[in-house]
Amino acid sequence: MGKHLVLVGGGHAHLTALANLGCYVRRGHRATLISSFRHHYYSGMGPGMLSGLYEPRQVRFNIQRMVQERGGQFIEASVTVVDPAAQKLYLDNDAQVSYDIASFNIGSIVPTAELAATDEHIITVKPILNLYKARNLILSQSARGITRVLVAGGGPAGVEIAANAWKLLHENAATPAVTLVAGNQILRGVPARARHLAVASLAARRIAIVEGVRVHSFENRCATLTDGRIIPFDFALVAVGVKPPPLFRASGIPVGEDGGMSVNGRLQSTAHPQLFGGGDCISVEGCTVAKVGVHAVRQNPILKHNLEVALDGGEMKRFTPNPNYMLIMNMGDGKGIMWKKRLVLNGGLAFLLKNFIDRRFMKRFQVSGELKDFSMGSGEGSWSL
Ligand SMILES: Cc1cc2nc3c(=O)[nH]c(=O)nc-3n(C[C@H](O)[C@H](O)[C@H](O)COP(=O)(O)OP(=O)(O)OC[C@H]3O[C@@H](n4cnc5c(N)ncnc54)[C@H](O)[C@@H]3O)c2cc1C
């Protein structure tokens, strides 16, 4: 008898399962995707969307169409509670959905509670669609005098955001000013050469870098730093790292230290064999997996296969994280900075490589017609698998 497979969140780790949803349906199963949004935005191209290099339609997957064209059901809602004993999901629209097998790919959130980031001029970098909202807000006010953008967070996302906010302001604002508050050290853990190249690239554009301190709190369009300094801003973009949403802990499902659903190497809950997961929202037992999309993308075929096995039987595959992945930052000036292990590449070529990988990824999972007229803007943008 057919079973009910429910995918929660149409993120980067579910794309292969979504693209092959017909396989589950043809075997007599029901397949449903529950997602907070009809589109999924590819974060590798998010900073380019902020600067205007890409339009929103160029960086998003129409996951509703992906599902419906393959015989599945799409529900636009967020799951608020999971009841593993009853095998039920509770949604924010008051509906309930029963499942035989459920898989979670609900991403991560930027924790801002301690920063008191409640103003509409303070924008977190997740969900990625926020970057488009930020662009519009900044554009609507940038023609008037100085536009001061503050970026909180000195990791790869913060650096890309600062660099691409600079491009946006440079092209549209009368007097642009970008400040990056980087925490302890900008690009900590990244090869020193890549870090120096990034600092030089930002400094050449007079982007102010503040290291050794963090943003402590926001109030009245001012950021108070941990050393007491106060930096006024017109817009703040918050890229202080991510953590899994509270859903699993709130539902009493075992979680890892970071709050992600605790899964084994088969990407299966350590407590509930009917639950699977991938991407930023899981915590893999016995290993530390960085919250980067590269891992989410690599989990795709494993998750797709293991869901098939959970429905029909067979042998599951295991996910082994590869710590030696490549990252490329879009520096907002037509150049990129790429690193893998100790190899570092800087310049137009790194950017072209990023753009090639990103466009190929978009094409691979896009439903027909969505990418029509996908022409590049003035420069070219990634991810790196
Ligand atoms: C600016 C920026 C740039 C980045 N660049 C890179 C990069 O170049 N390379 C790299 O490897 N990583 C990069 N990352 C990290 C990357 O974004 C994450 O690791 C990646 O998004 C994780 O994918 P995911 O599928 O787990 O989550 P997401 O991409 O966040 O997808 C989760 C999906 O689940 C949906 N959802 C959430 N909650 C619910 C709910 N309760 N019910 C139903 N649906 C829900 C969301 O709407 C979303 O569509 C970047 C991050 C940022 C912020």
Q: What is the pLDDT along the chain (385 residues), one digit of tens a residue?
A: 799 999 999 999 999 999 999 999 999 999 999 999 999 999 999 999 999 999 999 999 999 999 999 999 999 999 999 999 999 999 999 999 999 999 999 999 999 877 876 788 999 999 999 999 999 999 988 776 668 999 999 999 999 999 999 999 999 877 889 999 999 999 999 999 999 999 999 999 999 999 999 999 999 999 999 999 999 999 999 999 999 999 999 999 999 999 999 999 999 999 999 999 999 999 999 998 999 999 999 999 999 999 999 999 999 999 999 889 999 999 999 999 999 988 999 999 999 999 999 999 999 998 876 655 433 332 223 433 3
Do 227 and 258 belong to one domain? no
120 and 200 together in one domain? yes
163 and 196 in a common domain: yes
Is the C-beta atom of 294 inside 6 A of ligand 1? yes
CA of 10 to the centre of ligand 1 (A): 10
Partner residues linked to 40 by β-bridges: 61
The closest of 59, 60, 74, 58 to 18, measured between CA atoms, is 74
Q: Pick the atom of ligand 1 nearest to 39's CA.
A: 49
Please calculate the CA angle 227-228-232 and round it to the nearest 5 degrees.
120
**Within-domain flag for 69:** no
Q: Does residue 267 share a domain with residue 207? A: no
Asked if residue 327 has its Cβ within 6 Å of ligand 1, the reply is yes
Residue 186 has what DSSP assignment? T
146 and 206 within one domain: yes
Per-residue b/e over 42-75, b at no fewer than 16 CB within 10 Å?
A: bbbbbbbbbbbbbeeebbbbbbbbbbeebebebb
Q: Do residue 195 and residue 270 come from a single domain?
A: no
Domain residues for the domain of 300 are 4-36+77-108+243-312
**Residue 190 belongs to a domain:** yes
Say whether both 213 and 301 belong to one domain: no
In whole angstroms, give the CA distance from residue 140 to residue 160: 22
Are 137 and 85 found together in one domain?
no
Q: Based on the domain organization, do 184 and 225 belong to the same domain? A: yes
Of 200, 220, 241, which one is at a domain's C-terminal end?
Answer: 241
Is residue 355 in contact with ligand 1, taking CB distance under 6 Å?
A: no
Residue where a domain terminates, one of 253, 282, 312 = 312
Pair (237, 249) in one structural domain? no
Q: For residues 180 and 278, state if they share a domain.
A: no
Residue 371 covered by a domain: no
**Would the CB of 47 count as within 6 Å of ligand 1?**
yes
- 210 three-class SS: strand
Residue 50 domain flag = no
Q: Of all atoms in ligand 1, which is nearest to the CA of residue 126?
A: 53
Pairwise CA distance, residues 148 & 29, whole Å: 53
> Do 117 and 235 belong together in one domain?
yes
Burial 228-255 (b: 16+ CB within 10 A, else e): eeebebbbbbbbbebebbebbeebebeb
Residue 367 lies in a domain: no
251 pocket-lining for ligand 1 (C-beta < 6 Å): no
Any domain includes 345: no
Chain centroid offset of residue 16 CA? 17
**How many domains in the chain?**
2
- Answer yes or no: is 49 within a domain: no
Domain end call among 312, 339, 362? 312
The domain that holds 145 is classified in CATH as 3.50.50.60
Using CA positions, which residue lies closest to atom 50 of ligand 1?
43
